[in-house]
Amino acid sequence: MKIVKGNCGLCQGGCGVLAYIEDGRMVKVEGDPDFPTNHGILCPKGLASTQLVYSPDRLKYPLKRLGERGEGKWARITWDEALDTIAARLKEIRAKYGPLSVAGSCGTGRPLIHHDRRFLNILGTPNRLNSSHICYMPMLGAGIITFGRFPSSDFRNTRCILNWGSNVTHTRRMGMGLQLIDAWKRGAKLITVDPLLTPLASKSDIWLQLRPGTDCALALAWLNVIIKENLYDQEFVSRWTHGFDRLAAHVEPFTPEWAEPITWVPADKIRQAARLYATTSPATLYPGVSVEFGPNTTGTIRALLFLPALTGNIDVPGGNVLWQDAIPMGTLYSMEEKPATWDNALGDYPLLNRMLPTAGHAGWRAVLTDQRYPLKALLFHANNAIVGHENSQNFVYKAIMKLEFLSVMDLFMTPTAELADIVLPASTPYERDNIFTPNAEKNYVPPAIIAAPKVVEPLWESRDDGEVFIDILKRLGLDYGAETVKERLDQLCLKSAAGVKWEEFAKTGYASYPQSFRKYESGGLRPDGKPGFSTPSGKVELYSSELEKLEIDPLPLHKEPPESPVSQPELAKTYPLVLTTGIRSPVYYHTQYRHIPWLREIDPEPRIRIHPETAEKYGIRDGDWTYIESPRGKCKQRAMVTLGIDPRVVMADASWWLPEKATREERAWEVNINNLTDSEPPHDPGFGSTSGRSLLCKIYKAKE
Amino acid sequence: MTKWTIAADPELCFDCKACEVACKQEHNLPVGPRWIQVVTVGPRMVGGKLKVDFVPKMCVHCANPPCAEACPVDAIQRREDGIVLIDEKLCNGCLACLPACPFAVISFDPDTQRASKCNLCVDRIEQGLQPACVKHCEAGALFAGDANTVAQEMRKERAQRSGV
Ligand code: SF4
Ligand code: SF4
Ligand code: SF4
């Protein structure tokens, strides 16, 4: 038995792993005690790694479709035949409709994204059909508009954590959960904003149980309290912010009493929480992905980011620290080599399209309507859009069925792969060399680049997606700019804090620049090296002239969710409950790992949280299968009757599918809450974000 | 001599379930037996505040184990060092121990057809390592060691958090 150092890629975390290898087989994993992010600890997903790698359900060989799309008839083919077929179909479709008729996507982005974005650049398309419009791009983009960079949460040095809509001790990425727990154990104050009594909410000093979708109103009320009660850092504000007077006038009417009927949070409690945050120094804001899944993300996230800006918590230890890239994001995502077609990205979302276009729904709409230009072929890598994208059955599925060509590379035969022309078997993170770049993630201090070296040979005929990108391009006569994945990793490592080639870097596995603070004073933020922020005014843009130019509200405004009891009282007669959808299980990552026995045993079925009064009203008991229905579709989940949710709200598990079921209907949609989420406008004007966390629904008991 | 014990502080547990999978992996357990399981208590009102607790449950290695008492073939023994073990070779799978355990932490292993429970990672302990669940707990909510030190450590953790 030998023990080798590797890195878990089962989420974006990049936790250091000791892999126990016996006769070339990984028999066990443990956390690497020397690794600086996870200190020897792994989460349940990571600990089940061997069951993922050796899962009998994995895709083993390339397959081609026989019969109709989605009929489930396949023939095993060679890699050569698979890649030749993909290249031939792409050639044909590109010749007929132009380069924009082909798009791609990898799912959560993880370390594939540095391959995927570059691959698409070379193919000449800006369009990736993924979820960046509701995950990470709004956070990042709003940070850039306001500060020039995103301000990460520094849990290590903090005395107060404002946990706004995150359940990071379950989702864990980048060891952030560990850091948060450490701070809390040291006695840092904890404030949680969440519609559900999560473990973090339960352990918080103050829990604000808001109505889903009203985060911006709540944040505006906090700003009102902080300004009116003079709890802001006057020196920082006068020297380093732009538009404070306009903001102060703007939030004047947004008192806690104004916010109470909108957010359902008592005015007193809003004051109490805002005071605790503003008077405990240093304090750090940790916004979760939930604030990115609504049609008002630009305003909501900016309003949140004003909290550290006003309270003197920007770029100070224990506050919100402006990023220092361990590898420039533009290099990592090949944004420096945008194709000429970039400005023609689908979806008119100026802030998203500056970063990583486009929104999945914009792509699906293009497929369905041929608006702008035809979109005919998709190359999917680790993207289970049928389960993961909004409005699954009536929108995404219909679009996929209309494609001329779809190839899907994945670990398992997902409901999305089932619809492909060509299915390719991917290797797991343990079977390939790669880098993780938590520096490019929003919440990581200090920013780092992490090596994830291969610890076992790829099983069966599975391959690294990076190799496949290179091979496809070669067949099209295009150049990836690297002959091998290692060469590409060399290029990236050399431009990063690692500063050495891949093989060399893989030996140490972790590199970062030392964290520095108050960079706006030292001139560390702007390209010209002058003090200040890298924004048009050189200051923190409370009032944003950039947004004004784009005709987006330059100051944040509360917008009533488009589908709510307030905005649609008629519809609410049929669908009387507020539905929010984002619950993540600690044993799954998005749509993944329902195949893994150790994980599925812990969380066997999706659950919907219902208050006891509401359950009684609808004749539902704890554990009953319950239908949840919105104007777009329905699914069923097990009732979890709990006091932890407001009686007017139900909260459903995200991203579920049932691999073991016999029919597609059951596998893909029976329990999939994305049958109910909305793909249609209104969208956030900056990022194209959709409504997924605040909708209307009705519930009723299912027979079984 | 050290008398081993293992304990959990539910105040610290965040319900992440890492301990459960760490245990499964360490002992290569099939679906079914759960030597450690985190149970949700609540939500309920405690002192005017809605609270939910997570209680990791595993064999506590009793000083006078009722499970051993109940076993007709003496397959369960408490060792000198306090660790209560089921001898798989002696166990006949009658499961008399299951209802005898006041904490309901003995499972039936469908593979071996025997009773099965936490063995305090005895192999790891003998190598000077922590039990797998303790090592991978994100919150340091699990404590293993000599009964006296464990109680002390738990008190220390609590004191630190309340700023005492
Ligand atoms: S947090 Fe992510 S990277 Fe770390 S062990 Fe879990 S799945 Fe792996
Ligand atoms: S199995 Fe139950 S009765 Fe037996 S030692 Fe463990 S806790 Fe005590
Ligand atoms: S690993 Fe620790 S925090 Fe996670 S469930 Fe187990 S005891 Fe609780």
ipTM: 0.97
pLDDT tens digits, A236-258: 999 999 999 999 999 999 999 99
Nearest CA in chain A to B164: A187
Mean pLDDT for chain A overall: 95
The pair phi, psi for residue A489, each rounded to 5°, is: -65, -40
The pLDDT of residue A14 is 87
Binning pLDDT at 50, 70 and 90, where does residue A110 land? Answer: confident
- Give the domain CATH number at A288: 3.40.228.10
Number of domains in chain B: 1
What pLDDT shows up at residue A445? 63
CB–CB of B120/B2 below 8 Å? no
Domain that residue A371 falls in: 63-130+328-433+461-497
Q: Is residue A398 part of a domain?
A: yes
Tell me: pLDDT of B126 over 80: yes
Domain boundary among A295, A321, A347: A321
* Mean pLDDT confidence for A49-71: 98
> Do residue A265 and residue A362 come from a single domain?
no
Cβ distance B139 to A597 less than 8 Å, yes or no, reads: no
Residue spans of beta strands (DSSP E) within chain B: 4-8, 37-46, 49-57, 76-78, 84-86, 107-109, 114-116, 142-146
Partner residue facing B14 (CB), from A42, A169, A643: A169
Query: What pLDDT was estimated at residue A174?
Result: 65
Residue of A nearest to B39 (CA): A602
pLDDT at B164: 39
Choose the closest CB to A644 out of B14, B52, B132. B52
Give the count of domains, chain A: 3
Residue A387 has pLDDT above 80, yes or no: yes
Of A28, A30, A597, which has the smallest distance from its Cβ to B31's Cβ? A597
Residue B112 is assigned to a structural domain of this protein: yes
pLDDT tier, A175 (very low <50, low <70, confident <90, very high otherwise): confident
Predicted local confidence at residue A419, as pLDDT: 98
- pLDDT, residue A441, reads 52
* Same domain for A310 and A167: yes
Residue nearest to atom 6 of ligand 3 (CA): B19
Q: Is residue B73 in some structural domain? A: yes
A43, A52, A55, A202, best to mutate vs chain B, most B CBs in 10 Å: A202
Q: Which residue has the higher pLDDT, B10 or A438?
A: B10
At A43 the pLDDT is: 96
In a domain, B164, yes or no: no
Cα–Cα dist A137/A354, whole Å: 10
The answer, for A488 touching chain B at a CB cutoff of 8 Å, is no
Q: Specify if A513 maps to a domain.
A: no
The answer to whether residue A628 scores a pLDDT higher than 90 is yes
φ and ψ at residue B4, rounded to 5 degrees: -70, 145
Q: Which of A553, A560, A535 is nearest to A303 (CA)?
A: A553
Q: What is the pLDDT of residues A533-544, one digit of tens each?
A: 999 999 999 999
Establish if B161 belongs to a structural domain: no
State the ligand closest to the CA atom of A38.
1
Length, in residues, of chain A: 704
Which of B19, B20, B21, B44 has the most A C-beta neighbours within 10 Å, making it the best mutation to test the interface with A?
A: B21
CATH code where residue B140 lies: 3.30.70.20
B33 Cβ below 6 A of ligand 3:
no
User: According to the model, what pLDDT value does residue B75 have?
Assistant: 97
A597 to chain B: closest CA residue: B31
User: Which chain A residues are closer than 8 Å to B44 by Cβ?
Assistant: 643
Query: Which distant-in-sequence residues (6+ apart) come within 8 Å of A573 by Cβ?
Result: none
What is the structure's pLDDT at A324? Answer: 83
Residue A90: its pLDDT value, please?
98
Least confident of A454-463, A628-637, B145-154: B145-154
DSSP label at residue A427: P
Kindly state if the Cβ of B136 falls inside 6 Å of ligand 2: no
Band (pLDDT 50/70/90 cuts) for residue A427 is very high
- B138 CB near a chain A CB, below 8 Å? yes
State the distance from the centre of ligand 3 to the C-alpha of A85, rounded, in angstroms.
Answer: 48
| pLDDT value at residue A443 | 52
A367 lies in the same domain as A237: no
Determine contact: B15 vs chain A, CB below 8 A. yes
One-letter-per-residue 3-state SS of A512-567: ECCCCCCHHHHCCCCCCCCCCCCCCCCCEECCCHHHHHCCCCCCCCCCCCCCCCCC
